[in-house]
Structure 1
Amino acid sequence: MEAMEIDSEKNLHRKHCAYTLLDERFEIQKEMYRGQQYSQIYFARLHMMRTLLYSLVPNWKPHLPVCTVLELERDKECIVVGTLYKHMKLKPCVLDEYSKTRTVTPLVKPHNFVHPDDHLILEDESGRVKLSGNVLSPTVYVTGTVVGLHGKETDAGDFLVLDVLEAGLSPQIELPLKSREGKYVVFVSGLRVGSSSLNPLQFQLLVDHITGHLGDEKEQGIAAQIVHVVIAGNSIEVPRGLLNGQNLALKDQSRLSEPIKELDILLTQIAAGLPVDIMPGLDDPANFALPQQPLNRCLFPGSSAYNTFRSCTNPHCFDLDDVRFLGTSGQNIDDLDKYSEAKDKLDFIERTLRWRHLAPTAPNTLGCYPFTDRDPFLIESCPHVYFVGNQDKYDSRLVKGSEGQMVRLISIPKFCEMGIAVVCFPIIQLNLGNLECHTLSFGTQFSS
């Protein structure tokens, strides 16, 4: 890496970090849409998760028999493993939307579709059964979650749930010993370059801080400890009116490419000094369905000339000095927020970790590629850091597993949507030695 010059007599050298990219399972090598059914990804998910849950049953309730839905017997307690389906009264339906456009009643689009009348159904290859009781809350679980249930069939034909077995945190590689020298990873999301709400000066301040061109000797010394930058989605904003599927006029073509050129200039400044990973987001020029494939490198002719620049998938997984990072650009958590309830976004993030699945609502309400033989969203190895981009605010939590796992959950805020008069845009900085994190704020104040 380049040395960062402070004065004519003293140089600071940026610290190094061993990097391993682990995005292979999210990469689609030969994309095909030839009649694949989404049921196949559910079968693959159930097969993998059922094997896991069966292995946990002997330590959970060894005295109970394990059976399928078809083998349930009235008033006989047992354990059954299957995939949850949530029947939702307010869940949008294509046919309903079509019919409502023919009426004078406007279509209501609530932020959250949870209703008191929602109920859960458990299904496996043999059949399905409606669940009853107060143990399994429909407000917490979503369609696609695989669980083990202890209960019995009632006279009404329902399955009365008495207890729930979740997969819990997956096995975790041992966290390296604390390093005596501080090393930091910087996360940022929701840049939305090209948006009227983004002040370019604030982004330039961020770049200057990361690259060591901002502040005094102390500030530059801190900047030298930053070993990696992750940009978690929604990096550009293109005017919606231009994306109508029609041929663009010459002046509109320049408006379409200008935000990408501006982003490339800023990324080039970062890549010239340290490694940077960029992930696609919901509004970026990438495929819509998860896993989103890397943004085409031809969009970034300046930054892609550096081997420190990496265009990555969403979700994104990598190791830094044997510390495992796993994260998304936020679509999985935003979808959970529509179809279930929690006190904050960190609860949603923690649930996906304990369910061992990054996107349980895919493909039901969250678009994903129709995989036929695997489910790439299963969390087979527990990360040390689990980050989610494009959230409403910064938040963090340390989660501990039953086998000693420790995971730092990070909710990364949108960079361009904070404040009016005095605008503060936080980024997240993580210490590799102890998994602690804090925010850095970049703001400008305008006077009338």
Structure 2
Amino acid sequence: MAEHATSSKLERKQSLYQSLDERFEIQNEKYGGQQYSQIYFARLHYMRSVLYSLIPNWKPQLPVCTILELEEGKECIIVGTIYKHMKLKPCILDEYSKERSTVPIVKPHNFMHPDDHLVLEDESGRVKLSGDVLSPSTFVTGIVVALHGKETDAGDFLVLDILEAGLAPQIELSLDSREEKYVVFVSGLSVGDNSSNPLHFQLLVDHITGHLGDEKEQAIASQIVRVVIVGDSVEIPHGILNGQNLGSKELSRLSEPTKELDIFITQLAAAVPLDIMPGPNDPANFSLPQQSLHRCLFPGASTYNTFTSCTNPHLFELDGVSFLGTSGQNVDDLEKYSDAKDKLEFMERQLRWRHIAPTAPNTLECYPFTDRDPFFMESCPHVYFVGNQNKYESRLLKGSEGQIVRLICIPKFCKTGVAVALNLRNLECHTLSFSINLEM
């Protein structure tokens, strides 16, 4: 192992790093054919204790009931898991239906319908929700909430108010006394894809390693203390996977994108600490949480102790700043089954619901954990980032108890040539653009 990154000519600043990915690692779990009821039970059990602690400050005068204990006309509070009944939600059984469907054609990126409605369920039963307080377009299956309302003569529960868990407690962060340090995020490199321009990535590498620009730009590059590659780093040519045995030529084509990626990130790892996360198109397990990419895929980069292969989601601390991020599957799935003005609003909802992937396992694939749900947000991060988005977006979110969260949507680099730099001193961020047009 290389003890020090020596190939950079810069006097690079150092930072204290701690990976907290253990909660997303599948080590002692044993799959015995179990279904997903246990992960829902663990989620309800944990979130109910959180909501019970908030109810006395919300509406202490109202009794808390189970769904089975509801009485017509009596106002109370019930706590349970939302189930969203969706008319257009894809069903695998429809693939085997012999009758022609009469369901109208919808946009492939969203399955909402005006007839969608919400149901709340706990261990004792379920009840249909009514009223104007809850909008089905905002919520998805899997969210645990507390509802104030009453049962109607029709058997529905008329919702009068809602209590969400809200942002989790956050470690206090002092920003004023910090020095200038940057974390660079890049996502969707898609090395091997026809639309990916390797020159863009090489320019990014040269900028970070201090081989591009004048002395001022090199001084800024020396302030970069970590690079995080947020999923979908390679594009494997799946067309040659036709179920037949592959020859040496086909096997070589399969490995070429990974070899090319290793060449790039070896240059980075020689100069700056580097995290790489798997994405939906990378050679890793498909369901969340995705396990770290095997180090044997990166024979060059893995020789440096600055190289870290991480899980997706990825949780870490850098100089006391807490980071949480995903490669985008959790937000993209929310967009299919709910509505928001932008991706940042989906991210805000996840923070308020205290859950990274509320649609898992209903519509988002995840491992069937038996006694825990690893996607809880037990504490609120200072930076929440999501990769593989169509465009760069960022906003500073402030919680009711003084929490401050920098939300970042990281665009696909192969499409935009854009990376994102975050300043640890003040949580401000800006883009690094390396898109060029070569016209003959």
TM-score class normalised by the smaller sequence: over 0.9
Q: What residue is the counterpart of 1:142 in the other structure?
A: 140
1:404/1:220 Cα in 2 relative to 1: closer, same or farther (>3 Å)? same
Q: What residue is the counterpart of 2:108 in the other structure?
A: 110
Q: 1:175-324 maps to which residues of 2 (within 5 A)?
A: 175-324=173-322
1:105/1:76 Cα in 2 relative to 1: closer, same or farther (>3 Å)? closer
CA offsets per residue over residues 154-181 of structure 1, 9 Å max, x none? 0000000000000000000111343452
Q: Scaled by the length of structure 2, what TM-score is found?
A: 0.96
Q: What residue is the counterpart of 2:435 in the other structure?
A: 443
Deviation at 1:96, TM superposition (A): 1.1
Q: 1:395-406 maps to which residues of 2 (within 5 A)?
A: 395-406=393-404
Q: What residue is the counterpart of 2:357 in the other structure?
A: 359
CA offsets per residue over residues 24-71 of structure 1, 9 Å max, x none? 000000353212120000000000000000000000001100011001
Deviation at 1:2, TM superposition (A): 3.7
Q: 1:152-167 maps to which residues of 2 (within 5 A)?
A: 152-167=150-165
- Given residue 187 of structure 2, which amino acid in structure 1 is its aligned partner? S
SS in 1 for 2:360: coil
1:245/1:286 Cα in 2 relative to 1: closer, same or farther (>3 Å)? farther
Does 2:368 align with 1:370? yes
Query: Which structure 1 residue ranges, 5 or more long, are not aligned?
Result: 6-11, 419-424
1:306/1:435 Cα in 2 relative to 1: closer, same or farther (>3 Å)? same
- Given residue 325 of structure 1, which amino acid in structure 2 is its aligned partner? F
Q: Distance in 1 between matches of 2:245 and 2:397?
A: 50
Deviation at 1:243, TM superposition (A): 3.2
Q: Distance in 1 between matches of 2:390 and 2:88?
A: 24
Q: 1:320-359 maps to which residues of 2 (within 5 A)?
A: 320-359=318-357
Is 2:129–2:158's contact at 8 Å kept on the other side of the alignment? yes
Q: What residue is the counterpart of 2:96 in the other structure?
A: 98
Q: What residue is the counterpart of 1:29 in the other structure?
A: 27
Q: Distance in 2 between matches of 1:46 and 1:104?
A: 37
Is 2:12–2:222's contact at 8 Å kept on the other side of the alignment? yes
Is 1:399–1:407's contact at 8 Å kept on the other side of the alignment? yes
Q: Distance in 2 between matches of 1:177 and 1:218?
A: 24
Q: Distance in 2 between matches of 1:329 and 1:307?
A: 23
CA offsets per residue over residues 88-146 of structure 1, 9 Å max, x none? 00000011122169789998662100000000000000000000001000000000000
Q: Scaled by the length of structure 1, what TM-score is found?
A: 0.95
Q: Distance in 2 between matches of 1:58 and 1:103?
A: 49
Deviation at 1:335, TM superposition (A): 0.2
SS in 2 for 1:292: coil
Q: What residue is the counterpart of 1:428 in the other structure?
A: 420
Deviation at 1:240, TM superposition (A): 2.2
CA offsets per residue over residues 180-200 of structure 1, 9 Å max, x none? 520000001000000111111
SS in 1 for 2:160: strand
1:116/1:264 Cα in 2 relative to 1: closer, same or farther (>3 Å)? same
CA offsets per residue over residues 202-247 of structure 1, 9 Å max, x none? 1000001111111110010000000000001000001121234432
- Given residue 125 of structure 2, which amino acid in structure 1 is its aligned partner? G
SS in 2 for 1:142: coil
Q: What residue is the counterpart of 2:85 in the other structure?
A: 87
CA offsets per residue over residues 283-336 of structure 1, 9 Å max, x none? 000001100000011000000011100100000000000000000000000000
Q: What residue is the counterpart of 2:379 in the other structure?
A: 381
Is 2:8–2:270's contact at 8 Å kept on the other side of the alignment? no
- Equivalenced residues, count: 436
Is 1:176–1:323's contact at 8 Å kept on the other side of the alignment? no
SS in 2 for 1:13: coil
Is 1:349–1:409's contact at 8 Å kept on the other side of the alignment? yes
1:353/1:244 Cα in 2 relative to 1: closer, same or farther (>3 Å)? farther
Q: What residue is the counterpart of 1:9 in the other structure?
A: none
SS in 2 for 1:445: coil
Q: What residue is the counterpart of 1:8 in the other structure?
A: none
- Given residue 434 of structure 1, which amino acid in structure 2 is its aligned partner? N
Query: Which structure 2 residue ranges, 5 or more long, are not aligned?
Result: none
CA offsets per residue over residues 371-401 of structure 1, 9 Å max, x none? 0100000000100000000001000010111
SS in 2 for 1:416: helix
- Given residue 324 of structure 1, which amino acid in structure 2 is its aligned partner? S
Q: What residue is the counterpart of 1:133 in the other structure?
A: 131
Does 2:412 align with 1:414? yes
Counterpart of 2:170 (choices 160, 169, 172) is: 172
Q: What residue is the counterpart of 2:55 in the other structure?
A: 57
Is 2:292–2:309's contact at 8 Å kept on the other side of the alignment? yes
Is 2:84–2:136's contact at 8 Å kept on the other side of the alignment? yes
Q: Distance in 1 between matches of 2:157 and 2:425?
A: 48
Q: Distance in 2 between matches of 1:264 and 1:375?
A: 33
1:271/1:115 Cα in 2 relative to 1: closer, same or farther (>3 Å)? same
